[in-house]
Amino acid sequence: MALIRAFELRAQEMYQRAKIGGYCHLNLGEEATVVGLMSALRAKDYLFANYRVHGYAITRGLDPGEVMAELFGRTDGVSGGWGGSMHLFDEGVRLMGGYGIVGGQLPPATGAALAIDYEQKADDKSDAVMCLLGDGTTAIGAFHESLNIAGLWNLPIVYVIINNGLGMGTTVDASSAEPDLYKRGAAYRIPSTRVDGNDPDTVRKAAEKALKSAREDRRPYLLETTSERLKGHSVVDPAKYRTDEENKELKENDPVPLYRSTLIKSRAMTKKQAQEIDDEAERIVDDAVAFADKSPSPKPEQLFDNDYSTAVAGAPKQMPGDPLITF
């Protein structure tokens, strides 16, 4: 949690210093959810995420330097500089991508679960898929289409609604006719529950139960976690739609200091150890930035390196201004 916090604050700073371009959506305020979910996944499980993906990538085991390098658009980035903040991908840790189109990840995640079902028996050893989405995404047709198919075909997938209360500036009650989002599982006979996303232990337990149901019973599961986005929708959003009172409450419910004091109070950790963890997180993030800074930018000559997986006759590879036909 400390590392995600440090990473995201630094990402914000790097964006403000124009090292990072495009959109940049942070997990600030969602650290407990991220850690709870990721600690429940096994190494062989597949993760499909939306565009708010930095914390998940790091917690899933990706090198923070390579994640930062992707945000910087460098060759050592996890997607080679092609994806940026929203499109982190690494097959090695089975992070099957962050997706910038709201709801776009839902059908492919469901298809990944189909592939698992196609090749593996339903038992404790089988893999599972976790698909993350925001509260606002439950209004998209792909949500309905995917859950219906997963329920119909008994696929090993856990959909997690990260309910941070807002889709950009729109509250859940203003976008969903059923604001108890987890209840939507009932429409597809998919078991579902809502848990406090500010408590990593609760999230982990719920996610483990959901994943077990997916891999052993081949029943998809719909898990809703409640937390709050500490800042705006993306780095450039000043979140003016929030009142002073709401901002005060956000601070009081901030899961990072809350969990830290819980651990200290229960003597699981000393104050000194907490400080050491924070210091270590800062060091890792310093190194990540240094690594990203040193990584070269991709060269224009590399533009067509990833156009097709199976090379094909006649694929135009001309640069703007080049003649198309040169024979």
Partner 1 sequence: MAVISYRQALHDTLRAEMTRDEKVLLLGEEIGKFEGSYKITAGLLDEFGPKRVRDTPIAENGFAGVGIGAAMLGLRPVVEFMTLNFSVLAFDQIVNHASKIYTMFGGQTAIPIVFRTPGGGGQQLGATHSQNIEVWYAHLPGLKVVAPSNPADAKALLTTSIRDNDPVLFLENLGLYNTKGEVPDDGPEVPIGRAAVAREGTDLTVIAYSRGVNVAVGVADELAKDGVSVEVIDLRSLRPLDRETFCKSVRKTTRAVVMEDDWLSYGVGAEIAASVQEGAFDYLDAPVRRVAAAEISLPYAKPLESAALPGADALRKVIREQLDATGMRSKS
Ligand X SMILES: Cc1ncc(C[n+]2csc(CCOP(=O)(O)OP(=O)(O)O)c2C)c(N)n1
Contacts to partner 1 by CB under 8 A:
46, 48, 77-83, 87, 89-91, 96-97, 99, 101, 104, 106-116, 118, 141-142, 145-146, 148-149, 152-153, 305-310, 312-316, 323-325, 327
First to last CA, the chain: 59
Q: How would you label 184-208 residue by residue, b for 16+ Cβ within 10 Å and e otherwise? A: bbeebebbbebbbbbbbebbbebbb
Tell me which of ligand X, partner 1, none is bound by residue 111, counting a contact when its beta carbon lies within the kind-specific cut-off of 5 to 8 angstroms.
partner 1
Say if residues 83 and 96 touch (Cβ distance below 8 Å): no
Count other C-beta atoms under 10 Å from residue 141's C-beta: 9
Closest to ligand X by CB, 52 vs 94, is 52
Amino acid at site 215: R
- How near is the Cβ of 258 to partner 1 at its closest, in Å? 35
Q: DSSP assignment, residue 322?
A: S
**Minimal distance, residue 169 CB to partner 1, in Å:** 23
Instruction: Give the three-class secondary structure for 120.
Output: coil
| Interaction site with ligand X (CB under 6 A) | 52, 100-102, 134-137, 162, 164, 166-168, 233
Q: Which residue is nearest to ligand X (CB)?
A: 134
* Both tokens assigned to 283: 């060091």
Cβ distance to partner 1 smaller for residue 149 or 161: 149
Residue 136 binds which entry of partner 1, ligand X, none, with Cβ cut-offs from 5 to 8 Å by kind? ligand X
Query: Which of partner 1, ligand X, none sits in contact with 55, Cβ below 5 to 8 A by type?
Result: none
Would the CA dihedral through 143, 145, 148, 152 be positive or negative? negative
107 binds, among partner 1, ligand X, none (CB under 5 to 8 A by kind): partner 1
Residue 151 partner contact from partner 1, ligand X, none using kind-dependent CB cut-offs of 5 to 8 Å? none
Phi first, then psi, for residue 188 (nearest 5°) are -120, 10
Decide whether 112 or 207 has the Cβ nearer to partner 1.
Answer: 112
Closest approach of ligand X to the CB of residue 169, in Å: 9
Cα dihedral sign, 38-41-43-46: negative
134 binds, among partner 1, ligand X, none (CB under 5 to 8 A by kind): ligand X
In angstroms, how far is CA 190 from the centroid of its own chain? 22
Closer residue to partner 1 (CB): 100 or 200: 100
Run of H or E including 155: none
